[in-house]
Structure 1
Amino acid sequence: MQLLRYSSCILLALVVDIAQGAEWRGLVDVRAVDADSDRSFLDSGLGKLRYDSGSPLLSIGQAVLRGDADISDSFSASLELSADQQHRGVVDVREAFLSWNPLPSGAWKTRVKAGFFFPPTSVEIDYDSVGWVPRHTISSSAINSWIGEEVRTKGLEWSARRLGRYSDAPYDVGVLAAVFTGNDPTGTLLAWRGWSISDRIGGLNDTVKLADLPVYRRTGAIPRQWRDIHPYREIDGRLGYYAGANLNFGSVLELAALHYDNLGDPMVVKDWQYSWRTRFNHVSAVWRPRGEWELLAQAMRGDTLMGPNAVAVTFQSWYVLASHPLGSGTAAVRYDRFLTREHDILPSDPNNEDGDGLALAYDLALSDSLSLMTEALWVRSDRAARSLIATSPQQTDRSLTVSLRWRF
């Protein structure tokens, strides 16, 4: 437990120590945004978008610097730093980990990762690129928006893949398992803020400020909970885990499933932050039929609990995304559906939510390192808790974003 608790600090020190020999890559995203939305969740509101009607027209969406270094033939280290105008710490650590990739002696190829990194839950993201950004859109789906903000692995992950070519099978099969610490607040944002659709990604030391709801005011039903949420804090001293499997038929069809459980003790509170028991099941599929189409789908269903049934919420979301080359670029359309349902003892703290969203995007490569992406985003949602801060429960958020991305 002590090893896992301090793994991120140790690994960060190791990566910095070998930084001179690393290969450095980066991403700078400058964007123009026109948003018609209520106060953003990043400004203590209950809007669904990263930007709202008061956001500046021009901003830096994100700036990311990633270093990868080979320590030996089988060991490597990675560090990713990020910055944007909406992070309280400005610059933060997005990932920091060591990888062990032993040479395969047969059909099985294994890997062990240790540190602070994303769980393998997204088919929108190119994990080999810089920044954990979607490939075909600017915003992520509701599922991956939540993963990017509130779910991260701070621990150990083991994975193994059996390559089909060793047995003349038309598929590869993989399994994985992980133990982690530091994700006890996971579920807080889903319960009290709800789903969002954005490209905002949390860092190791990040904080998010909740809306000023009555339930966690000093005179509220849960006065020991502060509005400032630290998503990757360890509270109860327990380890969480996830386990999954995947099946790939070449590049044509990819299937995956994952079960996640942080095993949090919902009765423990520390430094004005409760531990939440959060678990979910997740499935995904990628299909690339003929004609250069790519179809993506993900679905998630889970529940979260805090206190003696003070907050108990089930949540679910799914999306489908289709993309195809169009002209000199690639066009994409994504539809999201999401909801939460409360099952607790505090009717004065409504956490039910229903919503859906539509994103239309076009990505144009200007050169090998420069691209221009445009996205129109529309999200409709109904959340009763908005009436507690004098806004309408039913809300439609819209934005038009143009993003100029430079990769170096």
Structure 2
Amino acid sequence: MKYWLWMFSLYSSITVAAEHKVSGVMDVRVSYTHGITSYVDAGLGKFRFNPDGQLSLAQGGLSYRVDWDNPFSFHVVANAYLDGVRDNIGITEGYLIYKGLPWDNGFRLSGKFGIMYPEISMENIATAWSSPYTLTYSTMNSWLGEEVRHLGARLSLEHLGKFNGTALDVKLSADFFQYNDTTGAMLAWHGWTSSSRQTLWQEKLPLSALPSLDGGSLASQAKESDPFLELDDRMGYHVNTQWRLHDMGRFEFGYYDNDADTRVVKNGQYAWLTQFFHAGIQWRLPYDIEFIAQYMKGDTLMQSPQGINIVDNGYNSGFVLLSHRWLKHRVSIRFEDFSVIDNDLTVDDDNSETGNAMTFSYGYQLRKGWFLQAEYNRVDSTRPARAEQGNSKELIEEQWQLASRYYF
């Protein structure tokens, strides 16, 4: 990635005029968590922080963008975490962008190539994929931040309504990608989480000490999952359509399929066939209340090289978020429901889970770019696998956070 950045910066300085922009976020938090060992620390806890209190750099995000005097630009994002659980720094996104001028009929072609998220999240719209609404992402978008990213290309065709005298824009996008063959492993083995951490491109994720992974039916699985790995040389795809009504909101619907060959395993890393539908709506209600709702439903399959189903899970997650901003204040509240349905016959590997979550967040703007934010999170879940580690299968976990967030 450093090589890409150097090459594009050199090109911009020698070949054509360019505009450089650097932005970022510094998020320092005091937090207290009531629960069990974090999933980030190989536990089955739903939050990113371990129990009790701590002071942390929850996110140090840096974004660099260069816009050339042509339809191309380049964008790279790095994130750092000093959270006492898994401190690290690295790249989370990096891609080349093409954005053409609209044609006379109102159509416009655009594209993107590189390391990127699928175009799904309606929450994570601020600098470095942070959220302006809450400190902790929804379970759906927490999973995207952990496992669902890839190296690929996106082609988008958009029709701008203003060319026809309407306020409706319509866009159709298609991604083709690789380097995501293990997507689904973490969702299976620790379930849904409420997090504010994005996996760095070079990171591997520790798996919890479950019977199936510790000498059981999945003993050949590596002790860490590599979420951005290419195993089968096959191309996955994601299609997404968006309708946007100016000054009111938007609606999206999409389908994701990594098209993994589930008989491939290399160095203890298995290919998981992961597919899901997703839908979302963002709308401006009366009294300047912003309404966001997203829902995801899919399945993920992991097999032995002989084609025997080892992990076969269905899953779904959805949330409703209401946010109101006035003067220097913002209040947001989010309600969620999630589940994992274990459909396989692997007796020592129960991945089933049901649960719901609630988040209440209040933010105050001290000055331009600087916000104080307080938040309460509650996750009520049932996961039988926790009993294997001496914890209750039915558990309520809570978290209180106070953050100083500075955007620059």
Q: TM-score, normalised by structure 2?
A: 0.94
Q: Name the structure 1 match of 2:194.
A: 197
Letter in 2 for 1:92: G
The answer to whether residue 115 in structure 2 is matched with residue 116 in structure 1 is: yes
Report how far residue 325 of structure 1 moved: 2.6
The answer to whether residue 90 in structure 2 is matched with residue 92 in structure 1 is: yes
Report how far residue 75 of structure 1 moved: 0.7
Letter in 2 for 1:368: K
The answer to whether the 8 Å contact 2:207/2:224 transfers is yes
The answer to whether the 8 Å contact 1:242/1:261 transfers is yes
Q: Name the structure 2 match of 1:283.
A: 279
Evaluate the alpha carbon distance shift between residue 302 and residue 18 of structure 1 in structure 2; reply closer, same or farther with a 3 A threshold: same
Bigger drift between 66-75 and 293-302 goes to 66-75
| Higher strand fraction (1 or 2) | 2
What secondary structure sits across from 1:284 in the alignment?
A: strand
The answer to whether the 8 Å contact 1:255/1:286 transfers is yes
The answer to whether the 8 Å contact 1:31/1:403 transfers is yes
What secondary structure sits across from 1:57 in the alignment?
A: strand
Query: How many angstroms apart in 1 are the aligned matches of 2:195 and 2:12?
Result: 31
Q: Name the structure 2 match of 1:305.
A: 301
Q: Name the structure 1 match of 2:69.
A: 72
Match of 1:14 among 1, 7, 14: 7
Query: How many angstroms apart in 2 are the aligned matches of 1:19 and 1:133?
Result: 28
Query: How many angstroms apart in 1 are the aligned matches of 2:377 and 2:12?
Result: 39
The answer to whether the 8 Å contact 1:340/1:354 transfers is yes
Letter in 2 for 1:160: L
Query: How many angstroms apart in 1 are the aligned matches of 2:154 and 2:286?
Result: 35
What secondary structure sits across from 1:186 in the alignment?
A: coil
Report how far residue 171 of structure 1 moved: 1.0
Q: Name the structure 1 match of 2:240.
A: 244
Identity of aligned residues (%): 30
Query: How many angstroms apart in 1 are the aligned matches of 2:8 and 2:309?
Result: 42
Q: Name the structure 2 match of 1:3.
A: none
Unpaired runs of at least 5, structure 1 = 1-7
* Per-residue CA distance 1:302-359 (angstroms, 9 max, x = gap): 0000012100000001000001135630101000100000111202210100010000
Evaluate the alpha carbon distance shift between residue 326 and residue 169 of structure 1 in structure 2; reply closer, same or farther with a 3 A threshold: closer
What secondary structure sits across from 1:32 in the alignment?
A: strand
Evaluate the alpha carbon distance shift between residue 207 and residue 13 of structure 1 in structure 2; reply closer, same or farther with a 3 A threshold: farther
Query: How many angstroms apart in 2 are the aligned matches of 1:152 and 1:10?
Result: 21
Report how far residue 15 of structure 1 moved: 4.2
Report how far residue 52 of structure 1 moved: 2.5
RMSD: 1.7
Match of 1:253 among 249, 263, 268: 249
Query: How many angstroms apart in 2 are the aligned matches of 1:140 and 1:164?
Result: 32
Evaluate the alpha carbon distance shift between residue 391 and residue 159 of structure 1 in structure 2; reply closer, same or farther with a 3 A threshold: same
What secondary structure sits across from 1:84 in the alignment?
A: strand
Letter in 2 for 1:77: F
What secondary structure sits across from 1:147 in the alignment?
A: helix
Report how far residue 119 of structure 1 moved: 1.2
The answer to whether the 8 Å contact 1:247/1:256 transfers is yes
The answer to whether residue 380 in structure 2 is matched with residue 387 in structure 1 is: no
Match of 2:48 among 31, 47, 50: 50
Evaluate the alpha carbon distance shift between residue 202 and residue 338 of structure 1 in structure 2; reply closer, same or farther with a 3 A threshold: same
Q: Name the structure 2 match of 1:4.
A: none
